[in-house]
Structure formats: structure tokens, C-alpha cells
Amino acid sequence: MLRKEPIPTGPEFTVLENIRVSICANDAEAAQQVSRIIADLIRQNNANNRKTVLGLATGNTPINVYRELIRLHQQEGLDFSRVVTFNLDEYYPMKPDSIQSYRRWMQENLFDHINVKPENIHIPDGSIPEAEVPAYCQRYEQMIEQAGGIDLQILGIGRTGHIGFNEPGSLVDSRTRLIDLDAVTRRDAAADFFGEANVPRRAITMGVGTIMKARRILMLAFGEQKAPIIRRTVEGPITHAVPATFLQSHPKAEIFIGRAAAGDLTRVASPWLLGEIEWTPENQLRAVIWLGLKTGKSILKLDPEDYSANHLSSLVREIGSADRLNHRTYRRLSATIVTKNLMATRRRMLCFSPHPDDDVISMGGTLTRLMQRENEVHVAYMTNGSIAVADDHALQSLDFWADLNHTFKLDTESTAAFYDKVHKFLADKEPGEVDSFEVREIKRLIREAEALAACRSMGIPTQNAHFLDLPFYQTGEVRKRPISEEDVEIVAGLIRKIRPDWVFVAGELSDPHGTHRLCAEAIFAALRRLSPEEKPVQVWLYRGAWQEWEPDVIDVVIPFSRTELMHKIFAIFKHQSQKDKALFPGPYDDREFWQRAEARNTETAAIFNKLGLPEYYAMEAFVRYDEF
């Protein structure tokens, strides 16, 4: 089950935290809290006939804040007519109307939907001549001063600890300027630009000193990938190597994060090191696993001295003895291992795959095993994944199709015209430009054919592969629309049609492109509207492409042999367009998807082995989801 135990908030548990941290259940809750703070400030200043000066950020992190502000304006009359805004940064060079432009992003995601005055909007201009940039940056600083300074600044945080585009090495008194982007930052932005080579190498950014002059600062961070840098920012020393640590010296800085991003904070990862906690069954399990991995001992070999030396004496007192605690934990973990002869049989299964390869990457071994156990297995591919196909791969497929038609004399005139049209578009295509309809369809068909090949490899009948092509994804860009009623109804309709006993959902909400998160949102919304008779008996969450479940939250692991793992890898190989170098591998892992799958499956098995559980070559892990 997902981790739900309360996070300690007492002063003894926050003693290591040098910035106030609000840990929220998810990004939606955090967005509501932050947007409420902004709205209250605007209303208070409006009542006193004063303007409100906001510093704004862009990207996936603050998007839900802006959506909530739009809702407050449209449904509750929040008035932005006195609001003045200053954005943190912009790539350089960057045309204002480019799809990667922060000016365009802000217009589409906030300004076009509220009554802010155009003359009150200020965003760094990435199109000015380079010789004019220093003077422009000075004027930007002057405009902030003339507006009375920033009342409230919204921030995200990069993996390097940058705020705005203030990379490691930025000084606390730095001001708005043109800077060189760190290699990690450019890698993180690669998806938006359809490849790292297309990411600008510089940006105009407010300085750390500019940000620190804001009267109040609210930072947001979500996802497991942000957990390490959040810990350094909050619990580490102030250093220019992590610019976000400068916020520790700001009197009104606060961080709003989800539980995943808080995962490395001491009060979340190991609260027993800070004070006495309630020894719930979940905390008992976490603590014993933590102790076993820390000491390098299997669970059944842990002794009272191990517990007392690691601040866990109260846990032993709670249970009565170390041996009793060890055996209880061992039995609980052993019960999660479901071998082949214990697996369900003759059930109807439905696996939702956000992209056309998530099913085989994350649970290909389990899907193969379910087919071997005479279950009826369906896979629903929620998006077509077309933007992840490189232009060269599309051309290769087009060349094959044209040669095939020419060889067999199949409508060669139409083939030649279509071939020339597509070739011309791709030859003239600008970096990051949205593909034409024809190119998108070629890429869609490539991904569908690969998914069908992988299904055949896993033993799944191709008629059980369902390509939903949800509307939210159909932008031609990395950035997607919010989930709509149409998306939810498509998902609900498929569930009603198949009537599965079990449903599998990608619970990997740290997908850097947000597609997994949006797909899960659509599935959960669909499940909530189904009648009791239409609902599945069980819903399981899987992971694999971006990270794996922590051992203390795993409800079921499916073990398999090296031969079975190799079979899964060969099925992943069917996705040739994603082989060798996927277009959007994500910024946190340079390995190919099959390498990640192999490593994570073997690493999960290795953790169980270290804890003294039966030794297997590889494992796929699942968490049961009960909130439907």
C-alpha cells in the first residue's frame, strides 16, 4: 500500500531543517495552499487600493498554481487588474513566439485567462541583440525597483539547486544577467527542445540577490527526483554550490513539497533518529528494513545491540523483543513474494500503459507470466508516443514503405507525392518545430507496430492491444493539455467494455514529462465514476522506467529467472525507435530503457536477498491501490 502514515511535525523533528517546509500529500494540495496565499495577498492589497507585485516561474512545477489562480479569477472573481508581474528568466536567444518561449508559456498558461493588464507583465526578452543585454538587464532591475519591489516570489528548483537560472557558483548578491547554463540544466530541458543539441546554452535570469530582495518567497518541488536536492537545500550548509541554500537566510522563505520530494529529509526517511515516534506497523517495517540495510545484516540476524546503537530501542520495547520483531518483519516481507504457482489464473487483466512501451519495460515479466497462467490479458496504450520518434527513424520507415510500394508497383504515383511531401517538410523543419500531420501519423504507426510486436513477444493476442490515443496528448509538443472529460470517458468506456478483474496503472508519478501523472489522473477519475458492478476487484500500481518502489511500501513482488528477464529484455527490443538512444530518455538516467529495467529488477531482488529473503535473479514490484 502507499505510504500514508503522518509525517512528524514537532520541533524536535524539524531541528535539522533550516527553511520552513510544508509537506503536502501531493502537488494539487501544495498548489491550493500556495494559490490561496497569493489570492489572499491580492485581495488584501486590492482592498487597500495597492498593487501586488508577483515574481513568477514557469514549467510543470507551478502549473497547478496557475490553474488554480485562473479558477479563482473565473469562478470567484479574483481581480488581477492591480497585479504587476516579473518573470524569473528566459532562454537566450529565444523568439517570443517560439513554442519553447517562457513568454508564450506564461500567456498560454496564465495571462490569457486572467484580467492582468498587458503593460503590467514583464518577462525577460530573449530576442534582443547581445550587445544590448547588459543595459537591458539593468533596466529590468530598475523596473522591479520602480514597482516597489517583489511582494511574493514563486520558485522551482533544479537538480543542481539552481533557482531561476542561477547555476552553481552564483553569488548571493548577483543581479539580473546573461549566464551560461549548466550541462545538467540543459539535459533537463532537452525534452522541451526535442533534443539536448537544440537547447540554448545561455539564459537571462534574475540574480540570487534580486530574488532574495522579495518580501516573501515560496518554493515548490515535486517528485522523487527532487528529494536529494531538497535535503541539501533544507538540511545542508549555505553554499554557492547549491544556490537554493541561500534561501536559508531569508526571513520569509518557505518550501511546499509533495511527500515524494520530501523523501530524503531526515524526519521522513528516518524520523526515529530525531525523536520518539508512533510505532505503527508501517513505521515498524520501515525501521527494520532501514536497520538491516544500514548494518548489512539480514533481518533474522539483527540483535538488540543493533537496535539500541541506531536509536531503535523504543521499537524493541514496543514489540517485546528483537527476535519477535525480526520474525514478524520477515514473515511480512515473505508474504509479498508471489511465485508462479501462487499467481492468479483465469482472470481478466487490463494493463494501462501511458506510452507504447511502459507495459513491457515496467511489468513485461509479469504480463508474460499472467499469460502463461491462462489469464486474459489486455493492454491499453493511452498515448501514441509519436513525439518520441526521431525524424531519422521516421525517414527510414518511410524509405522502406516507398521501396516496398515501388517493388510491388502499389500506387507508385501517390507514394512518390507523399514521399516528396514528407521529405520536404523534414528537410525544412526547424529544431523543436511541431511535426506535420503526415509526420505525426508515420511516427504514431511506428510506435503502434512496435507495441504489437512486444505484445506478441509476451504472448498477448494483438486483438487485446487497445490504442486509446487520448486527446490530452495530441498537441505535437512535449507540453500536454490538462486531462479533460473526453479523456476520462474514453478510459471509463474501455473498462466498462473489458470488465477486468485486475487493473494495472503506472504509479511512476516522477515521469519528467508528466504523461504518467496525467494518465493516472484520467484512470483514477474514470474508476471513481464507475458503478460498483463495473469496478475492478483490484488495482495495482507498477513502476520501472524512472524509479522503483521502496521495499517498505511493496505489496507484491513477482520473482523470475535470468532466462525470463532476458525474454523481457528481448520484448523491450521490439521498440526499435526507442533503442540505442531514445529521444526523451529523461534527465535523471542516461541508460537505455532496457538497461534500466534490467538494473531495477535485479536490484529489487538483491535488496530482498540482503534482507535474508529467498534469493531470486530479478523481481517486478507492485503496490496495491485502494482509493477507488
**Residues with catalytic annotation?**
167
Burial zone of 532 (CB within 10 Å; 0-12 exposed, 13-18 middle, 19+ buried) = exposed
The torsion angles phi and psi of 557, rounded to 5 degrees, stand at -125, 140
Question: Grid coordinates in use for 448?
Answer: 503502434
CA 488, chain centre distance (Å): 20
Burial zone of 42 (CB within 10 Å; 0-12 exposed, 13-18 middle, 19+ buried) = buried
CB 161 within 8 A of CB 225: no
CB 313 within 8 A of CB 342: no
Distance separating alpha carbons of residues 538 and 540, to the nearest angstrom: 7
Place of cell 537566510: 249
Question: Grid coordinates in use for 398?
Answer: 518511410
Question: Grid coordinates in use for 302?
Answer: 539483527
- Sheet with 502-506, strands from edge to edge, namely 465-467, 376-381, 348-353, 502-506, 538-542, 618-625, 556-560
Distance separating alpha carbons of residues 530 and 65, to the nearest angstrom: 29
Helix 358-372 / helix 593-610 crossing angle, nearest 10 deg: 60
The long-range contacts involving 434-438, CB below 8 angstroms and separated by at least 24 positions, are: 434/99, 434/475, 434/476, 434/477, 435/386, 435/387, 435/476
Nearest to 553 by CA among 236, 342, 260: 260
Rounded to 5°, angle at Cα 102 from 589 and 254 = 70
Distance separating alpha carbons of residues 284 and 290, to the nearest angstrom: 10
What distance, in Å, lies between the first and last C-alpha atoms of the chain?
13
Which DSSP category does 191 fall into? G
Nearest to 593 by CA among 377, 378, 388: 388
Which DSSP category does 578 fall into? G
Question: Grid coordinates in use for 153?
Answer: 516570489
Question: Grid coordinates in use for 492?
Answer: 471509463
Distance separating alpha carbons of residues 301 and 303, to the nearest angstrom: 6
Question: Grid coordinates in use for 173?
Answer: 548578491
Question: Grid coordinates in use for 529?
Answer: 465514476
3-class state of residue 280 by DSSP: coil
Torsion of CA 445, 450, 455, 458, to 10 degrees: 180
What is the chain's percent helix, strand, coil content, to nearest 5? 45, 15, 40
Distance separating alpha carbons of residues 522 and 489, to the nearest angstrom: 9
Distance separating alpha carbons of residues 193 and 541, to the nearest angstrom: 31
Distance separating alpha carbons of residues 287 and 17, to the nearest angstrom: 21
Which DSSP category does 390 fall into? -
Rounded to 5°, angle at Cα 36 from 34 and 37 = 65
